[in-house]
Amino acid sequence: MYVNTKDILEKASKEYYAVPAFNINNMEFFHAILDGALEKRAPLIIETSEGAIKYAGNGDILKGARYFVELVRLFADSVDIPIALHLDHGKHFEYIIAAIKAGYSSVMIDASEEPFEENMKKTKEIVKIAHAAGVSVEAELGQLAGVEDNVSAEESVLVDPQQAKIFVEETGVDFLAPAIGTSHGAFKFKGDAKLDFERLKTVKELTKRPLVLHGASSVLPEYVKLAEEYGADLGGAKGVPEEELKKCVELGINKVNTDTDLRIAFIAGLRKYLKENPKEFDPRHYLGAGKKLVKEVVMNRLEFLGAAGKA
């Protein structure tokens, strides 16, 4: 069934597990993710960036938003696991309103690059509109470094836990993404992963809200290796080790944004299939090879984050 993201996350927050939020840009990734969640009997959060909406709508924002709502609801309404659709990194009013109008479960207002007061002001405005439409809201405090889609920042600025308390109380935001050292994309760290667990623990204590980890892909070595075996150039790729993610869940992370891991799995499956099947040109077959590995990654992530069996 199609649900509000807040319902999925409040339960996860109470029981200290996490639900991955998987990004999609097209139908194939959605089907692979859905199959994985059904097999694992897990709640499912599907999310789309503004770029994905523009892509699916062939440039038309409202069409793109409606495309994803239709696609997700078509399947969500006929399965017995809870499924939510979330606008990821809503930076532009036009996309946030289009998502609300189209029927998204929740929207992120990402004003994290603005000064604190400005972030608070914009978030308050979106919370008022979204809540009036029964839509839940995510916001981000502090900044991730790294680049992916149109989301980039030079330096990562870690969240200030005291500010986080004021922020959630003033804005009424439903779930918060505190920056604790991760970054988007496949090249997250120069050396070892450095997440500020103490800071995360304090944010949870002070806000008592479901928390979101951005830039949470693990960049799994076996999929990087497979993609490189068939011609990909991902040298230096490094993600958040799964045991570090588990620690984040123990400290109160409940939504784990995952995009890069699915992209690497897909390209590995696609490259391998194309190399091994030079005569093949049916998109259902070669895209199917990518889908298969995406489903594997999805099932593994649902399992170790504790979402499996929680539907």
User: Which residue ranges make up the site for Na ion (CB under 5 A)?
Assistant: 88, 108
Q: Is 88 a catalytic residue?
A: yes
Query: Catalytic pick from 7, 80, 88, 196?
Result: 88
CA distances from 146 to 102, 248, 294 (A): 30, 20, 23
Backbone angles phi, psi at 136, to 5 degrees: -90, 165
Q: CB of 270: closest distance to Zn ion in angstroms?
A: 24
The verdict on 269 binding ligand TD3 (CB under 6 A) reads no
The verdict on 178 binding ligand TD3 (CB under 6 A) reads no
Instruction: Answer with the entry of Na ion, ligand TD3, Zn ion, none that 260 interacts with (C-beta below 5 to 8 A by kind).
Output: ligand TD3
Would you put residue 309 in left (φ > 0), alpha (ψ -120 to 50) or beta?
Answer: left
Amino acid identity at 4: N
In eight-state DSSP terms, residue 143 is: B
The verdict on 214 binding Zn ion (CB under 5 A) reads yes
The 10 Å Cβ neighbour count of residue 116 is 15
Instruction: Answer with the entry of ligand TD3, Zn ion, Na ion, none that 291 interacts with (C-beta below 5 to 8 A by kind).
Output: none
- According to DSSP, the β-strands at 151-153 and 19-23 are unpaired
Is the distance from CB of 219 to CB of 236 less than 8 angstroms?
A: no
Rg (CA), the chain: 18
The verdict on 184 binding ligand TD3 (CB under 6 A) reads yes
Instruction: Answer with the entry of Zn ion, Na ion, ligand TD3, none that 108 interacts with (C-beta below 5 to 8 A by kind).
Output: Na ion
Check whether 215 is labelled as a binding-site residue. yes
Check whether 184 is labelled as a binding-site residue. yes
Instruction: Answer with the entry of Zn ion, ligand TD3, Na ion, none that 48 interacts with (C-beta below 5 to 8 A by kind).
Output: none
Q: Which lies closer to Zn ion via its Cβ, residue 123 or residue 257?
A: 257
The verdict on 111 binding ligand TD3 (CB under 6 A) reads no
Q: Which lies closer to Zn ion via its Cβ, residue 148 or residue 160?
A: 148
Is the distance from CB of 24 to CB of 2 less than 8 angstroms?
A: no
Is the distance from CB of 97 to CB of 142 less than 8 angstroms?
A: no
Q: Which lies closer to ligand TD3 via its Cβ, residue 214 or residue 291?
A: 214
CA distances from 186 to 40, 86, 140, 224, 273 (A): 26, 22, 21, 10, 22
Backbone angles phi, psi at 106, to 5 degrees: -155, 160
**Separation of alpha carbons 96 and 105, rounded Å:** 12
Residues for the chain: how many in total? 311
Q: Which lies closer to Na ion via its Cβ, residue 88 or residue 174?
A: 88
Q: Which lies closer to ligand TD3 via its Cβ, residue 151 or residue 180?
A: 151
Q: CB of 21: closest distance to Na ion in angstroms?
A: 6
Q: CB of 281: closest distance to ligand TD3 in angstroms?
A: 29
Residue with tokens 């889908």: 291
Tokens for 309, please give them. Answer: 């069996």
Is the distance from CB of 145 to CB of 180 less than 8 angstroms?
A: no
The verdict on 260 binding ligand TD3 (CB under 6 A) reads yes
The verdict on 88 binding ligand TD3 (CB under 6 A) reads yes
Q: Which lies closer to ligand TD3 via its Cβ, residue 138 or residue 160?
A: 138
Residue with tokens 């994803």: 68
Query: Cα 114 to chain center, whole Å?
Result: 21
The verdict on 216 binding ligand TD3 (CB under 6 A) reads yes
The verdict on 237 binding ligand TD3 (CB under 6 A) reads no
Question: Contact residues for ligand TD3 (CB under 6 A)?
Answer: 23, 49, 88-89, 148-149, 151, 184-185, 214-217, 257-260
Residue ranges for the known binding site are: 89, 110, 140, 184-185, 214-217, 257-260
Annotated catalytic residues are: 88
Question: Contact residues for Zn ion (CB under 5 A)?
Answer: 214, 257
